[in-house]
Amino acid sequence: MTSAPLSPTTASFAERGAAFVVRWGFIAVTVALIAYFVITEPNFRTLDNVFGMLKFIAPTAIAGLGVMLAITVGGIDLSVGASAGFAVSIAAWTMVIGNQVGGVAIGVVLLGGLLIGGLNAFLIVVARIPDLLATLATSFVIVGLKLLIVDGKSISSQMSLADGSTAPGKFTADYLWLDRGSLGPVPIPVIIFVAITALLWFILEHTRWGRALYAVGANAEAARLAGIRVQLYRTVAYMGCGLLASIAGLLLGARIGQGDVSAGNSLLLDAVAVALVGVSVLGIGRPNAWGTALGAILIAVMVTGFTMVGLPYYAQDFGKGIVLLIALLFSFTFSRRRTVVTAGSTTSS
Amino acid sequence: MIDSSIPEGGDQATLSPVVSLSGVSVAYGSNVVLTDVTLDFFAGRITALLGANGAGKSTLIKALSGANPRYSGDISIEGTLLHLSSPVLAKAHGISTVHQKVADGIVPGLSIAENVMLDDLANASRHPLRNAKQSLLDARAALATLGLDWPDSLLVQDAARLSISDAQLLVLARALRGTPRLLILDEPTSALTAAEAERLFTVLRSLRDTGLSIVYVSHRFGEIEALADRVVVLRDGVVQHNSERPFAWNAILHDMLGRATELEQTRVDVRRGHDVVAHVSGVPLLPAAPPLDLEVRTGEVLGILGLIGAGKTELAELLAGLARPASGSLSLGGEPYAPKRPSDALRRGVVLVPEDRQRQALLPGWSVAHNISIPFLKLSSALGTLRGAREISRAQQVIDSLGVVTAGPSASIDDLSGGNQQKVVVGRWLSAEPRLALLDEPFRGVDISARREIGDRLKDLVAAGDAAAVVLSSDIDEILEVADRIIVLVAGAIELDAYADETDRASIVGAFLGARTRDHSAVPPEGHPK
């Protein structure tokens, strides 16, 4: 009849081939990379190395999951690097200068992450500043605030203070356990990484709140008319992002063992890259938790492998950039190249 | 019966066509959307292009305007065979296109004059420095072809401030620069009021008389009857009908829809509602409009007829919780009703099928089932966890009850035609079993069969007796087809309120016209109406 579907229901061979490449391409690349390193590098295939890689990438992956939340509601958060760095310094400051135990530091940092997320949400949702610009501005503010609080210095145990005395506190064992502890053979950061991924996957894929988050990202106006509290969900997403960035900072701080003021600087690009790779990695075409985790693992494999085969550290950025570019090509150029027929205008999506 | 403007002795066999298509086909992948189209377009003629959704009209226009160079077959212009590989090339050879979405043709931030002269920005042979004075002169000359005398003080203003009908004229003036041979207009009146459309028709008739060939795409039979010299009907990508005046409308409709259809359905079953479900009292719909009183009754389909700017959308948004009354009050089921947001309205049983399906209703890339379940996530889940089976069964009910043509609940919404997408949106909201269903322009860009299906479901909804449906439209035929009770809204005021068997087309048109002669300032608000 007149209202037959416009798009083909039976995709051509080429289209199905493209869909297959999109869906499995990244996994194939990861597996191939792993296979290569497993064969050429005896150290690569040890269990220690596997957990080491996962532990190494955990902060990036968790911050990437935060960015993923922002992308889910149709936004972006460029302040995750600054937030993680803020968390590193604030945790150190609370323990070393404030002489508190690790538990208090963790609480302060998580609260700080929520506040930063809340500030971003306020600027984007209420003040209606574009997400990119709002979070770029807050990342400057956060970095600046951090430097003001710590007098521009890295904080370490037993450091000497301006008045000549020695700092009263130190990095406590319970805080350092976040990095050095393990359950059986599995390091704590890996457990946190996997647990957060699984939790976010469940929320996004299997709960109505997750569906609502996706709806806000897919068509905010349609979501609003469907009775979804769009502003509320966007606020929650940015606060979640702030919280995850601060968790990434906690793990980073525990790994470094001091309040390094430059910590978190390189995290932002990696986190954004991981979230964007996550959009394309399983051919799902939207931000998703396992995809983000896989994107992080791919980068970990690459970085570890590069290091083992003796490539200089600065080759890593080149590799990451290429991976991100390929992911973007998959997301925007090769995926579901379908002509959306709307009355009068045609857009490819 | 031949239109006086057709040149005497203008026998087609002796006239050579301006643009000639021979065996033109277009396929997207394995999907053939245009098959072996052979058509001639003659100078000084207006050819109306008709077809249901997905019939291939847009595809044909895209091939003609150079927007889709991947066609097969031959297109020749004045006897010269050409491959129309880009819009610039098509325009250079005298094919000018005005697309349906006027807003897409306007660059906000540039002045009106600069927008008129926009093509010069892409023209490498033009001087790269823009001369403000010269561009004003050029723009005025271009607008003069339409008989428009806009002062310089207006021309230097931001084009985004133009009303939609003036923007339509601007885009048309731009299309006419460089004196095209063939002008393609894709639903040019879809955003215009009747008076504005009439102004456009006058312009088009005089353009035709200067020898321009015009292709006119529209869903509105009345316009085509008033304007066209020839009707071409596409169905499933094939030319089904190609005839000159006088038009045999029943044959045209038959060829368009593939089955016999009565143009005017005789209404035998006009329902009369009983209880008042919603009451609007003393609410001005527009800033300058008088306070409005309106009762919506259960058991009837209320059709509210009004043009853009009449306050239809404002009324729908008021009742659906998208806007709050400036003054006055609302009641629902006898109780005060002051929804703050759509979720409040939904909880009270009020749903809205919004005007713009793509922008306000659909979730692109999502399945049919997920598009349908979005307002009912709470009902589709247990302890917050979604139950896929509940979503699928709700979607299957919608698909069955409205006859949605789709591979199934899991098919992507993007794969459905416009009419079927609209059925999904309507079905989504009717599945809420609403007390009050508001449908704002539910038949826009929807073919007649989908329109019938939607209309029937609305009748089913109200037939049960405790629900009301309100259809808001600017198309008198749609309203006559679906409504039991008809209200004519002009500039925020009710000009007519009668049951369908108490009134007729002439009275309804009269209500419009009577209001217009009294209130000449009934122009749409500045900027782009939604």
Long-range contacts of A160-164 (CB under 8 A, 24+ apart): A161/A97
Bridge partners of residue B184, in order along the sequence = B97, B215
Mean pLDDT confidence for B295-302: 94
Work out the number of other CB atoms within 10 angstroms of the CB of residue B281.
Answer: 14
B414–A340: do the CB atoms touch at under 8 Å? yes
Nearest CA in chain A to B31: A8
Q: Are residues B278 and B258 in the same domain?
A: no
Closest approach of A287 to chain B, Cα-based (Å):
13
Closest approach of B478 to chain A, Cα-based (Å):
19
What is the model's pLDDT at position A25? Answer: 75
Domain termination site, one of B263, B280, B308: B263
What is the model's pLDDT at position B368? Answer: 96
Q: Are residues B296 and B333 in the same domain?
A: yes
In a mutational test of the B interface, the residue from A1, A203, A349 whose CB has the highest number of chain B CBs within 10 Å is A1
Q: Are residues B330 and B395 in the same domain?
A: no
Q: Has residue A88 been placed in a domain? A: yes
A222–B363: do the CB atoms touch at under 8 Å? yes
Q: Has residue A45 been placed in a domain? A: yes
Range of the domain at B323: 264-349+434-530
Q: Are residues B239 and B209 in the same domain?
A: yes
Reported confidence tier of residue B364, pLDDT bands at 50, 70, 90: very high
A6–B406: do the CB atoms touch at under 8 Å? no
What is the model's pLDDT at position B257? Answer: 64
Q: Has residue A247 been placed in a domain? A: yes
Taking the C-alpha atoms of B305, B311, B312 and B314 in order, what is their torsion angle to the nearest 10 degrees? -170
DSSP one-letter code for A262: T
Report whether B351 contacts B434 (CB < 8 A): yes
DSSP letter for each residue of B69-119: ---EEEEEETTEEE---SHHHHHHTTEEEE-S-GGGG--TTSBHHHHHTGG
What is the model's pLDDT at position B213? Answer: 93
Dihedrals phi, psi of A183, to nearest 5 degrees: -110, 110
Q: Pull the structure tokens for residue B385.
A: 């966890």
A345–B101: do the CB atoms touch at under 8 Å? yes
Q: What is the CATH number of the domain that holds B71?
A: 3.40.50.300
Q: Has residue B359 been placed in a domain? A: no
Exposed / middle / buried, residue A194 (Cβ in 10 Å: 0-12, 13-18, 19+): middle
Identify all chain A residues contacting B415, using CB atoms and an 8 Å cutoff: 5-7, 9
Q: Are residues B451 and B339 in the same domain?
A: yes
What is the model's pLDDT at position A347? Answer: 31
Q: Rounded distance, CA B186 to CA A345, Å?
A: 10
Q: Per residue in B189-229, pLDDT tens?
A: 776 777 777 888 888 898 899 889 999 988 777 788 888 99
Q: Per residue in B239-273, pLDDT tens?
A: 888 888 888 877 777 777 664 444 445 555 788 88
Q: Are residues B85 and B185 in the same domain?
A: yes
Q: Has residue A8 been placed in a domain? A: no
Closest C-alpha among A100, A98, A138 to residue A242:
A138
Q: How many domains is chain A built from?
A: 1
Closest C-alpha among A107, A96, A144, A85 to residue A271:
A85
A6–B374: do the CB atoms touch at under 8 Å? no
Q: Has residue A349 been placed in a domain? A: no
Question: Is the dihedral angle over the CA atoms B54, B58, B60, B62 positive or is it negative?
Answer: negative
Q: Interhelix angle for B448-463 vs B249-257, to 10°?
A: 90
A341–B417: do the CB atoms touch at under 8 Å? yes
Q: How many domains is chain B built from?
A: 4
Identify all chain A residues contacting B55, using CB atoms and an 8 Å cutoff: 2
Range of the domain at A291: 16-333
Q: Rounded distance, CA B420 to CA B403, Å?
A: 9
Q: Has residue B168 been placed in a domain? A: no
Q: State the residue for tokens 């295939």.
A: A45
Report whether A2 contacts B452 (CB < 8 A): no
Closest C-alpha among A17, A5, A22, A38 to residue A333:
A22
What is the model's pLDDT at position B8? Answer: 42
Q: Pull the structure tokens for residue A261.
A: 């003021």
Q: Has residue A10 been placed in a domain? A: no
Q: Has residue A144 been placed in a domain? A: yes
Q: Are residues B132 and B201 in the same domain?
A: no
Q: Has residue B355 been placed in a domain? A: no
Q: Give all strands of the β-sheet with B468-473 in edge-to-edge order.
A: B350-353, B436-440, B468-473, B301-305, B485-490, B493-499
Q: Has residue B143 been placed in a domain? A: yes
What is the model's pLDDT at position B374? Answer: 96
Q: Has residue A4 been placed in a domain? A: no
Q: Are residues B376 and B292 in the same domain?
A: no
Q: Are residues B66 and B188 in the same domain?
A: yes
Q: Per residue in B173-193, pLDDT tens?
A: 888 887 789 999 988 877 677
Q: Pull the structure tokens for residue B419.
A: 């009419």
Q: Parallel, antiparallel, or unpaired for β B468-473 and B80-82?
A: unpaired
Identify all chain A residues contacting B53, using CB atoms and an 8 Å cutoff: 2-3
Q: Rounded distance, CA B69 to CA B89, Å?
A: 11
Q: Rounded distance, CA B150 to CA B173, Å?
A: 12
Q: Parallel, antiparallel, or unpaired for β B493-499 and B485-490?
A: antiparallel
Q: What is the CATH number of the domain that holds A197?
A: 1.10.3470
Q: Average pLDDT of chain A?
A: 87
Query: What's the angle, vertex CA A127, arms to CA A126 and CA A130, rounded to 5?
Result: 105
For residue A332, give every residue at least 6 positions away whose Cβ sits within 8 Å of its Cβ, in sequence order, or none.
none
Q: Are residues B196 and B95 in the same domain?
A: yes
Q: Pull the structure tokens for residue B210.
A: 């200067």
**Is residue A221 less than 8 Å (CB to CB) from chain B?**
yes
Q: Has residue B171 been placed in a domain? A: no
Identify all chain A residues contacting B236, using CB atoms and an 8 Å cutoff: 2, 4
Q: Per residue in A185-230, pLDDT tens?
A: 999 999 999 999 999 999 999 999 999 999 999 999 999 999 999 9
- CB-nearest partner of A2 from B67, B235, B341: B235
Q: Rounded distance, CA B523 to CA B248, Å?
A: 35
Q: Rounded distance, CA B76 to CA B309, Å?
A: 43
pTM of the model: 0.74
Closest approach of B186 to chain A, Cα-based (Å):
7
Report whether A300 contacts A323 (CB < 8 A): no
Q: Has residue B187 been placed in a domain? A: yes
Q: Rounded distance, CA B321 to CA B313, Å?
A: 12
Q: Are residues B446 and B332 in the same domain?
A: yes
Q: Are residues B97 and B119 in the same domain?
A: no
Judge if ipTM > 0.90: no
